[in-house]
Structure 1
Amino acid sequence: MGSSTPESVIDTAMSTLRAFNRSPVPNELSQWICDAVDVSNPEKRGQVWLNTWSRWKSLAPFFVSHGLYLYDYTSDVDRGASPPGVPKARHSTSEQPPWARRAYNQEEDLDFDCLETVRIWPARDADGHEVIIRLVSGPNPSEELKIFLRLNTPDARKDPRNHTLPVLKYLTFNKLIFVVLPRWDTVAHSPWVTSNTGLEFLHEKRIAHRDIHPSNTVMNVLATPGEELNELRASGSVHYAFIDFDSSIAFPENADLSTLRVQRLMRNPVLYMGLKPGLCDPFKDDVLCLTATTQTMVRVIENVVPEVGLFFDKILHCTYDDVPSALQALQSFRRWRAGVTHDQQREPPGGSFWKGRTRK
């Protein structure tokens, strides 16, 4: 298949053994973190990327043995990791899930520049599909691994409300557990009803996401950066998914949601909401963060459909105890959405993004 393919199974096994013996790869998940550096500084960013690449590069023979070809990082090019020379990409504009549709012009558009997120690395499978390899657990099973397992049972994957990426493979190296996921782009700003249906499913599975924002939702497309993608959002062909469960919690599946409390994780979404440190209901926080995120895209129709403003305000400006569940919010959304007339649907929105206050 090309020069990067081992000549035999024995060669692959020996390469993997050598990688294991000299590997700079720690097998404790806590050691797979990015040092606090200013990644806006090209020199410092390059050093972070180089350190990350040194870990993944030592694992390249192992991943090749599983039909996965890592993107390559060259430190003298400040554009992230680049696709492998072989195999060639084979994404089409009509690709069906779990694969992303092609909306990029050239291979360079696939460059991956999120290398400071140490636990993920892009790759291409033997059939030419782009994937993400994500380290999710060390020797002691992590919460994130528990979540992936819960979301990827046969029954969970059949549920149409399951708006998460499917695990294509679980791989283990030196007690490190990796999941292989299809690569979709973070260009989502997904519709409120789709996101909230997905959130309802997560909460039904007793999973609190705890880090909902636009960069943690993806769309089934691989696009040229900066390109307009409105034509790719047609109902029936577009799919959205939540990603990044490293901050999430999986409670017992029979737990009573109304009784669950944890210390609030002070990530950007809750800081933006003006929420304070302390004990919280993580499911209410999820609803608030999702609502605040999606109103910037949906509330632009308030000039045509005034009810949309009332819907968002009722959730975002009520008392914390009165924040609805994901299911209750979804039911409320569907009630006012059912009253939107055809004439209203034909009216142009009041802009591309709505700007207003949240709970602050």
Structure 2
Amino acid sequence: MPLQAAAQKDTGEAIREGLSKWYRLRAVTVEKTWVSYYPFLLSRGYRLRPRYNPDWIPSWTLPGNKLHASRCEDSLHIWLKDNILDAVHMADDVKVVLKLVPTNSAELRIVNLLSDESKRSDPRNRTIPILDIFLYTDAPDYTFMVMPYMRRFNYPPFHCRGEFVDAMRQFLEGLQFMHENNIAHRDIAPKNMMMEESRVVPKGSHFTNDKFHVGIGESFWWKERCSVGPVPYYYIDFGLSHHYPDGNAGALTIGRLRGFDGIPELSDTEPYNPFKVDIYQFGMSIRNLVKTYPALGMFQPLGEIMCSKCPDDRPTPDEALQYFEEIVRGLSKSQLRARMWQRGDRLIHRITRTFCGCYIAEPYEEIEY
């Protein structure tokens, strides 16, 4: 190997090793913080997983346990989500998600606004319901929000166009609702678009690794959404959101958004309309779903117009929803029900999905976006 190539390889390995070490140290810090929250949360009726109990003893070290740590649920740790974790509501044994936010944050104000009874009664309100809110008494500058446990909306894979249509319709109506209430989300991406899993994945999934029921290697079973619907979909994470009481037409903001470098108007100095950015972000999700599922090609024009370079050329949520419904009306019932596959699906995955309703082995990495 030439010296220059060898040096580059050594440098790359050193960088990867350094990052891995940093992530491990960061994970330890984050997890110790949640351990410190454990007694308080228990007093409020919420129990974290055994790993975060101050008295936790790793199960793989217990006498008689011959399993390797990688085969034990309590070996799974969180990484950088230092303010969000799953728990069990002890009163009814239901899994929930806890999020710690500053008490004076815009996020908490927006969540309270969206949780108002008049807003919650609107069927287009596809923002995550809030089950409970309480101050962290050890640090009153912070507040815990409690939300239902959800999973990402794009896994398990879509079975047919009808499932995609149901999801996108709810998300478009949710975007319409937020904009009508003068709220710009500003972080519309698959990681913040969720579905309620109880009908689709009856055995549930693990917060740390939602490709498994209990977080460790096993078959992952689900039911097709079209066979158990309706399936509710929700937006989460309002940490970047903003409320513009005076309306969205003249709303302006500045600042780049991590992960959205492709949006042309983002700037740290030149103001732009955040509602137009929401439209672009939604369009990105549609475009990438079309890339993942070739059978969704008829929705490509909608994604493209929502991602127009000129913000003024992008449709409003009302117009986007109208365009979407026009496309859907052009599809027959058989076209909506026909099975579709992801680009890159291998024969083994098609066979196990068709005849077993699951992935027999660990799911392969589907196309991410």
TM-score when normalising by structure 1: 0.68
Residue 120 (structure 1) aligns with:
84
Q: Secondary structure of 1:262's match?
A: coil
Deviations 1:39-71 (A, max 9, x none): 995543232122122223222222111111122
Residue 282 (structure 2) aligns with:
290
Residue 131 (structure 1) aligns with:
96
Deviations 1:176-232 (A, max 9, x none): 211111111224377322211111111112111111111111111243643475614
Residue 67 (structure 1) aligns with:
45
Counterpart residue type for residue 130 of structure 2: V
Alignment CA distance shift 1:272-1:319 (3 Å): closer
Residue 117 (structure 2) aligns with:
154
Question: Using the alignment, how far apart are the partners of 1:39 and 1:144 within structure 2?
Answer: 36
Which of 166, 169, 184 pairs up with 1:193?
169
| 8 Å CA contact retained: 1:131, 1:180 | yes
Question: Using the alignment, how far apart are the partners of 2:76 and 2:235 within structure 1?
Answer: 19
Question: Using the alignment, how far apart are the partners of 2:330 and 2:98 within structure 1?
Answer: 44
Question: Using the alignment, how far apart are the partners of 1:157 and 1:112 within structure 2?
Answer: 35
Alignment CA distance shift 1:306-1:128 (3 Å): closer
Residue 196 (structure 2) aligns with:
220
Per-residue deviation at 1:288? 0.9
Which of 80, 91, 107 pairs up with 1:144?
107
Counterpart residue type for residue 261 of structure 2: L
Residue 185 (structure 2) aligns with:
209
Alignment CA distance shift 1:137-1:38 (3 Å): farther
Alignment CA distance shift 1:234-1:246 (3 Å): farther
Question: Using the alignment, how far apart are the partners of 1:157 and 1:109 within structure 2?
Answer: 36
TM-score when normalising by structure 2: 0.67
| 8 Å CA contact retained: 2:51, 2:74 | no
Question: Using the alignment, how far apart are the partners of 2:17 and 2:127 within structure 1?
Answer: 29
Residue 129 (structure 2) aligns with:
166
Aligned positions, number: 284
Unaligned runs of 5+ in 2: 1-14, 60-70, 156-163, 198-203, 212-219, 345-368
Q: How much identity, in percent, do the aligned residues show?
A: 24
Deviates more, 1:258-267 or 1:343-352: 343-352
Question: Using the alignment, how far apart are the partners of 2:18 and 2:129 within structure 1?
Answer: 32
Root mean square deviation, CA, Å: 3.4
Question: Using the alignment, how far apart are the partners of 1:314 and 1:299 within structure 2?
Answer: 16
Question: Using the alignment, how far apart are the partners of 2:205 and 2:18 within structure 1?
Answer: 23
| 8 Å CA contact retained: 2:263, 2:277 | no
Alignment CA distance shift 1:329-1:275 (3 Å): same
| 8 Å CA contact retained: 1:71, 1:121 | no
Q: Which has the higher helix share?
A: 2
Alignment CA distance shift 1:292-1:110 (3 Å): farther
| 8 Å CA contact retained: 2:131, 2:146 | yes
Question: Using the alignment, how far apart are the partners of 2:334 and 2:119 within structure 1?
Answer: 39
| 8 Å CA contact retained: 1:134, 1:179 | yes
Deviations 1:48-105 (A, max 9, x none): 1221222232222221111111224479xxxxx99xxxxxxxxxxxxxxxxxxxxxxx
Question: Using the alignment, how far apart are the partners of 2:327 and 2:265 within structure 1?
Answer: 28
Whether 1:181 aligns to 2:147 is yes
Question: Using the alignment, how far apart are the partners of 1:108 and 1:238 within structure 2?
Answer: 31
| 8 Å CA contact retained: 2:286, 2:303 | no
Per-residue deviation at 1:170? 0.9
Which of 235, 238, 245 pairs up with 1:242?
235
**Aligned counterparts, 1:1-360, within 5 A:** 41-73=19-51, 113-126=77-90, 127-138=92-103, 141-172=104-135, 173=137, 174-175=139-140, 176-188=142-154, 191-221=167-197, 222-223=204-205, 225-226=210-211, 227=220, 229=222, 231-232=224-225, 234=227, 236-252=229-245, 255-268=246-259, 270-277=260-267, 278-298=270-290, 307-317=298-308, 319-345=310-336, 349=340, 351-352=342-343
Alignment CA distance shift 1:160-1:145 (3 Å): same
Q: Secondary structure of 2:151's match?
A: coil
Alignment CA distance shift 1:163-1:112 (3 Å): farther
Question: Using the alignment, how far apart are the partners of 1:274 and 1:232 within structure 2?
Answer: 36
Counterpart residue type for residue 223 of structure 1: S
Question: Using the alignment, how far apart are the partners of 1:327 and 1:177 within structure 2?
Answer: 35
| 8 Å CA contact retained: 1:299, 1:308 | no
